[in-house]
Amino acid sequence: MTSPASTLVPTRSSEARRTAWITAVVALLILAVTVACTWALYDQLHSVIGRRAFAWALAFAFAPVVPLAALFVWLDRLRPEPRWLLAVALLYGALVATYISLHLNSWLAGLIGDRLVATARSAVFVAPWVEELAKAAIVFAIVLWRRHDFNAVVAGVVYGGLVGVGFAFTENIVYYGQLFQQALKVGEGNEGALDAVQALFLWRGVAAPFVHPMFTLVTGVGIGLAVRHHHVGVRILAPVAGYCGAVLLHMGYNTVASFASNANLSAAYFAILLPTLAALVAVVIVVRRHERRVIAARLHDYAAFGWLRAAHVPFIISERDRRRARRYARRFGKAEAQRVRAFQRAGIDLGLLRDRMVRGVAGSSALPRERELIATMRSLRTKVLLPGVSESPSDDLSSAASSW
């Protein structure tokens, strides 16, 4: 008689091949769209703002990109999303979303009467709807593709934030470049133009570089909540609410930026913008802590049935204990450090998968994937060296293929 495990191998293999082909096709499509949008944007912006203004604008716009992107990657460290998808989100925001928004904003602004130049009316009532939809599109696409392997709310925040970082980068090139050109046209010279750009950079690049990431991560929170729930109403309303929240924040910011004087702008910054950012940061912190508690609870389910040692769970979940385990493992060489990292990653994946199974949103591949992760944990649980845990434990734990 054929064992259940052996019948799973061809299925997993065929799924892996199919996933590889789909990934390759998607990657080629993304590359083609990225190259096309890059060239179109460069051609359009270069012709409008000129070579010298473009070079300076590029330098100023790039300054906040690395620290902001690093912040979102750091936020994603418990269960990292694929790095290439994070790069796709960043590049999509910088190239595709900005190209779409640039043309849709111009077209819709013309429909409401702003045919020659954008006004506060289009900045408040047109741009937020267009730009937040353009930015959110890639997060929706990633979720639809990876809905059974999506790290819920935190992943939505990370993808949304990175899209916003990329979008702000290109938008800042436009603003800095246009200001540089305007200063040159009125005869201020290169030094005066640089002073004007530096003044704007202090606001957009230093004081408030987080606004676009802040807007779009609200959409990401809504999408992440939808992924976690089986109820159709929540799956529909949560992304819509997130998108509308992002639009309202964007509209509020554009309203203040369009009508407030410099003094009022500073007041609005401290009275409205920073408290809003603080509130969203608090939400993200609460979400991350909740996620850790959920994963810990799911892993303790496995420990209760003998598939995992309860003493191992903190070294999988707790940030402090995770670092302690990795420092301890490095004493025994690179192989042991890699083994501990693999053990932690498998544990996080197993906890997240179990949570999706409990919620009824795991998909048909959940049980084979669970067996695979349990087998990985079983093979590592007696080998990993963890501080304060027996380094040579007897393998007295259950060896069944699945706990459910």
Domain borders along the chain are 11-259, 274-404
Q: What per-residue confidence (pLDDT) applies to 6?
A: 40
Question: Stretch 196-203: mean pLDDT, rounded?
Answer: 93
Q: Measure Cα distances from 24 to 88, 149, 365, 371 in Å.
A: 14, 18, 21, 27
According to DSSP, residue 82 is labeled P
Backbone angles phi, psi at 78, to 5 degrees: -65, -50
User: Which are the contacts of 54, defined by CB distance < 8 A and separation ≥ 6?
Assistant: 45, 46, 173, 177
| Contact predicate 365/264, CB 8 Å | no
pTM of the shown model: 0.87
pLDDT digits 0-9 by tens, 2-39: 333 443 444 556 666 776 777 777 777 777 877 787 77
According to DSSP, residue 81 is labeled P
130 versus 120: which is more confidently predicted? 130
What's the count of helices (H) and strands (E) in the chain, helices before strands? 17, 0
Residue 263 confidence (pLDDT) above 80: no
Q: Measure Cα distances from 354 to 16, 50, 301, 367 in Å.
A: 21, 55, 9, 10
Range name among 60-69, 220-229, 300-309, 324-333 with the lowest pLDDT average: 300-309
User: Which are the contacts of 321, defined by CB distance < 8 A and separation ≥ 6?
Assistant: 314, 315
User: Percentage of the chain with pLDDT > 90?
Assistant: 50
Question: Stretch 380-386: mean pLDDT, rounded?
Answer: 86
Q: What per-residue confidence (pLDDT) applies to 151?
A: 72
Tokens 């309860």: give the residue: 310
Q: What per-residue confidence (pLDDT) applies to 10?
A: 44
Question: Stretch 184-194: mean pLDDT, rounded?
Answer: 85
Q: What per-residue confidence (pLDDT) applies to 19?
A: 67
pLDDT digits 0-9 by tens, 287-309: 999 999 999 999 998 888 877 88
pLDDT digits 0-9 by tens, 61-72: 999 999 999 999
The structure tokens listed for 201 are 């950079």
* C-alpha to C-alpha distance for 279 and 265, rounded to whole angstroms: 20
Residue 249 confidence (pLDDT) above 50: yes
Question: Stretch 336-352: mean pLDDT, rounded?
Answer: 93
